[in-house]
Amino acid sequence: MSAVIKTAEVCTLTFREALNEALRLEMTRDSRVIVLGEDVGRKGGIAGVTKGLLDEFGASRVIDTPISEMAIAGACSGAAITGLRPVGEFYYCDMLMFMADNVVTSAARLHFATGLLAPYVLRGRDGSKPGEGGPHQDSLAAWFAHVPGLKVVMPATPSDAKGLLISAIRDDSPVIFLEQIPLYSLKGEVPAGEYVVPIGKSEVKAAGSDVTVACVGRCVHDALQARDRWADKGVSIEVLDLRTLRPLDVESIRRSVAKTGRLITVHEGWASYGIGAEVVACVSDGPQLLLKAPARRVATLDTHIPASPRLAAEVLPNATRLDEAVADVTS
Amino acid sequence: MTQTQSSTAAAHGPEVGNELLLRMMEQLVLTREFESKCEAMWKAGEHLVGEYHLSLGQEAIAVGTCAAIEPSDLICPSIRGMGVYLCRGTPLSQLMKTFFDREGAICGGRWAHWHSPVAEAGLLAQTGMLGSGLVTSAGVALAQQYLGTGKVVITMLGDGATNTGYFHEGMNFAAFRQLPIVIIIENNGYAVSTPLASVVNVKHLSSRAAGYGMPGLTIDGNDVLLVYNTVRDAVGKARSGCGPTLIECMTYRFSGSTVKDPDQLRPFAEKEKARKKCPVLRFKTLLEQKGVLAPRDYEEMVTSVQARIDAAEKEAKESPHLDLNGDPLVKLAPYPDRADA
The answer to whether residue A267 is catalytic is no
Of A34, A114, A247, the CB nearest to B146: A34
Give the residue extent of every domain in chain A.
Answer: 11-191, 203-330
Using a 10 angstrom Cβ sphere, with 0-12 exposed, 13-18 middle and 19 or more buried, the burial of residue A130 is middle
Does B14 score more than 90 pLDDT? no
- CATH class assigned to A203-330: alpha beta
Report the percentage of chain A scoring pLDDT > 90. 93
CA distance A267 to A274: 9
Mean pLDDT in residue range B165-177? 98
Residue B159 banded pLDDT, cuts 50, 70, 90: very high
Q: Please give the mean pLDDT across all residues of chain A.
A: 95
CA distance A86 to B135: 14
Strand A187-191, strand A151-153: pairing: unpaired
CA distance A60 to B175: 15
Q: Identify the residue among A36, A70, A97, A98 best suited for mutation to test binding to B, counting B beta carbons within 10 A and taking the highest.
A: A70
Does B46 score more than 90 pLDDT? no
Q: What is the pLDDT of residue B178?
A: 98
Does A5 score more than 60 pLDDT? no
Fold of A11-191: Rossmann fold (3.40.50)
Strand extents, DSSP E, chain A? 5-6, 10-14, 33-37, 62-64, 85-92, 121-126, 151-153, 175-180, 187-191, 203-206, 211-215, 237-241, 244-246, 263-270, 296-300
Report the percentage of chain B scoring pLDDT > 90. 82
Q: Which residue has the higher pLDDT, A188 or B111?
A: A188
Residue A286 banded pLDDT, cuts 50, 70, 90: confident
Q: What is the pLDDT of residue A27?
A: 98
User: Angle CA(B23)–CA(B28)–CA(B34) in degrees, nearest 5?
Assistant: 120
CB contact under 8 Å between B336 and A149, yes or no, is no
At CB < 8 Å, which residues of chain A contact B? Answer: 34, 60-61, 63, 65-66, 68-71, 73-84, 86, 101-102, 105-106, 110-116, 148-149, 247-248, 250-251, 254, 282, 285-287
Mean pLDDT in residue range B88-94? 97
Cα A261 to Cα A179, A245, A289, B155: the distances in Å are 31, 22, 9, 57
Q: Which of B159, B187, B162 is nearest to B249 (CA)?
A: B187
Q: What is the pLDDT of residue A112?
A: 87
Q: Which of A83, A251, A221, A31 is nearest to B144 (CA)?
A: A83
User: Does residue B154 contact residue B182 with C-beta atoms inside 8 Å?
Assistant: yes
- Quote the DSSP letter at residue B4: E
Chain B residue nearest residue A149, CA to CA: B333
User: Does residue A276 contact residue A283 with C-beta atoms inside 8 Å?
Assistant: no
What are the beta bridge partners of residue B157? B185
Q: Please give the mean pLDDT across all residues of chain B.
A: 92
**What's the full length of chain A, in residues?**
331
pLDDT tens figures, B67-89: 999 999 999 999 999 999 999 99
Of B127, B139, B332, the CB nearest to A79: B139
User: Angle CA(B308)–CA(B313)–CA(B319) in degrees, nearest 5?
Assistant: 125
CB contact under 8 Å between B132 and A34, yes or no, is no
Mean pLDDT in residue range A16-39? 98
Does B11 score more than 80 pLDDT? no
Q: What is the pLDDT of residue B340?
A: 44
CB contact under 8 Å between B132 and A105, yes or no, is yes
User: Does residue A276 contact residue A253 with C-beta atoms inside 8 Å?
Assistant: no
pLDDT tens figures, A241-263: 999 999 999 999 999 999 999 99
Q: What is the pLDDT of residue B24?
A: 98
Does B10 score more than 70 pLDDT? no
Q: What is the pLDDT of residue B113?
A: 81
Domains in chain B (CATH in brackets) are: 3-340 (3.40.50.970)
Q: What is the pLDDT of residue B1?
A: 45
Chain A residue nearest residue B170, CA to CA: A71
- Chain B nearest-CA distance from A85, in A, is 10
Q: Which residues fall within 8 angstroms of residue B300, CB to CB, at 6 or more apart?
A: none
DSSP letters spanning A110-168: HHHHHS-----EEEEEES--TTT--S-----HHHHHTSTT-EEE---SHHHHHHHHHHH
Of A34, A74, A112, the CB nearest to B132: A74
CB contact under 8 Å between A78 and B339, yes or no, is no
Report the percentage of chain A scoring pLDDT > 70. 98
- Chain B nearest-CA distance from A114, in A, is 5
Q: What is the pLDDT of residue A6?
A: 54
User: Does residue A240 contact residue A266 with C-beta atoms inside 8 Å?
Assistant: no
- Give chain A positions within 8 Å (CB) of B111: 113-114
Residue A134 banded pLDDT, cuts 50, 70, 90: confident
Q: Which of A126, A112, A123 is nearest to A167 (CA)?
A: A123
Q: Which of B199, B139, B200, B141 is nearest to B166 (CA)?
A: B139
Does A67 score more than 50 pLDDT? yes
Q: What is the pLDDT of residue B326?
A: 66
Q: What is the pLDDT of residue B339?
A: 43
CB contact under 8 Å between A76 and B116, yes or no, is no
User: Does residue B271 contact residue B208 with C-beta atoms inside 8 Å?
Assistant: no
Does A159 score more than 70 pLDDT? yes
CA distance B101 to B110: 10
Q: What is the pLDDT of residue A148?
A: 92
Q: Which helix (H) or strand (E) holds B301?
A: helix B295-318
Q: Which helix (H) or strand (E) holds B246?
A: strand B245-250
Mean pLDDT in residue range A161-177? 98
User: Does residue A84 contact residue A32 with C-beta atoms inside 8 Å?
Assistant: yes
Residue A157 banded pLDDT, cuts 50, 70, 90: very high
Mean pLDDT in residue range B10-28? 85
pLDDT tens figures, A33-45: 999 999 999 999 9
Q: What is the pLDDT of residue B9?
A: 45
Cis peptide before A135 (omega within 30 of 0): no
Does A49 score more than 90 pLDDT? yes
- Asked whether this chain's domains A11-191 and A203-330 adopt the same fold, the reply is yes
The model's pTM? 0.94
Least confident interval from A11-15, A229-233, B41-45: B41-45
